[in-house]
Structure 1
Amino acid sequence: MKIAIVTDSSYGKGKLYDNLYIAPLLINLDGTESIEDNPEFTKEKFLTLIKKNSLKTSQTPIGKIIELYDNLLKEYDQIVVCGLAKSLSGQHNGYLLAAEEPQFKDKVFIINSNGVSIILEHEIALIVDLIGQGKTGPEILAEINAINNAYQCYILPKSWDTFVKSGRISRIKAILVTTLKINIVLKVQDDKIVFDSKHRGFFASVKFIVNSLKEVCSTDMIDVAYGYLDDETVEKVKEIITTAGFKINLWSELPKTILVNTGPETLAFSIWKK
Structure 2
Amino acid sequence: MSYKVIVDSCGELTEEMKESGIFETASLSMEVGGVRIVDDETFDQADFLKRVAASPECPKSSCPSPEEYMESYHCDAERVYAVTLSAELSGSYNSAELGRKLYEEEYGKKDIYIFNSRSASIGETLIALKIQECEEADMSFQEIVSTVEKYIESQHTYFVLETLDTLRKNGRLSGIKAIVASALNIKPVMGAKPEGVICQLGQARGMKRALAKMVDHIVEDVENSEEKILAISHCNCKERALEVEKSLLARAKFKSSFIIDTAGISTMYASDGGIIVVV
Q: What is the TM-score with the length of structure 1 in the denominator? A: 0.84
Question: Is it true that 1:25 corresponds to 2:19 in the alignment?
Answer: no
1:38-94 Cα distance to aligned partner (Å, 9 max, x none): 111222322222222221111012222222222x2xx22221112222111000000
Q: Does the C-alpha gap of structure 1 residues 255 and 41 become closer, same or farther in structure 2, counting only changes over 3 Å?
A: closer
Aligned residue for 1:7, secondary structure, equals strand
Which runs of 5 or more structure 1 residues have no equivalent in the other structure? Answer: none
Q: Does the C-alpha gap of structure 1 residues 99 and 26 become closer, same or farther in structure 2, counting only changes over 3 Å?
A: same
Tell me the distance in 2 between the aligned counterparts of 1:41 and 1:213: 31
Whether the aligned pair in 1 keeps the contact of 2:232 and 2:260 (CA below 8 Å) is yes
Letter in structure 2 aligned against 1:61: S
Aligned residue for 1:89, secondary structure, equals coil
Cα displacement (A) at 1:138:
3.0
User: Where do residues 161-240 of structure 1 align in structure 2 (5 Å cutoff)?
Assistant: 162=166, 177-189=181-193, 190-218=195-223, 219=225, 222-229=230-237, 231=239, 233-240=240-247
Q: Does the C-alpha gap of structure 1 residues 114 and 162 become closer, same or farther in structure 2, counting only changes over 3 Å?
A: closer
Q: Does the C-alpha gap of structure 1 residues 38 and 239 become closer, same or farther in structure 2, counting only changes over 3 Å?
A: same
Whether the aligned pair in 2 keeps the contact of 1:109 and 1:138 (CA below 8 Å) is no
Tell me the distance in 1 between the aligned counterparts of 2:25 and 2:250: 37
Deviates more, 1:186-195 or 1:40-49: 40-49
Tell me the distance in 1 between the aligned counterparts of 2:132 and 2:156: 22
Tell me the distance in 1 between the aligned counterparts of 2:69 and 2:171: 31
Cα displacement (A) at 1:164:
8.3
Tell me the distance in 2 between the aligned counterparts of 1:108 and 1:262: 31
Question: Is it true that 1:252 corresponds to 2:269 in the alignment?
Answer: no
User: Where do residues 92-107 of structure 1 align in structure 2 (5 Å cutoff)?
Assistant: 92-101=93-102, 102=105, 103-107=107-111
Name 2:248's counterpart in structure 1: 241
Tell me the distance in 2 between the aligned counterparts of 1:230 and 1:149: 29
Moved over 6 A (4+): 163-169
Aligned residue for 2:82, secondary structure, equals strand
Name 2:78's counterpart in structure 1: 77
Q: How many residues align?
A: 262
Tell me the distance in 2 between the aligned counterparts of 1:136 and 1:42: 39
Tell me the distance in 2 between the aligned counterparts of 1:10 and 1:188: 15
Tell me the distance in 2 between the aligned counterparts of 1:267 and 1:63: 33
Whether the aligned pair in 1 keeps the contact of 2:89 and 2:172 (CA below 8 Å) is no
Q: Does the C-alpha gap of structure 1 residues 227 and 77 become closer, same or farther in structure 2, counting only changes over 3 Å?
A: same
1:91-133 Cα distance to aligned partner (Å, 9 max, x none): 0000100111222523322122222222122111111122222
Name 1:9's counterpart in structure 2: 9
Question: Is it true that 1:45 corresponds to 2:47 in the alignment?
Answer: yes
1:167-209 Cα distance to aligned partner (Å, 9 max, x none): 999xxx99x8444221111111131112222211211111111
Cα displacement (A) at 1:163:
6.2
Tell me the distance in 1 between the aligned counterparts of 2:149 and 2:172: 32
Whether the aligned pair in 2 keeps the contact of 1:156 and 1:266 (CA below 8 Å) is yes
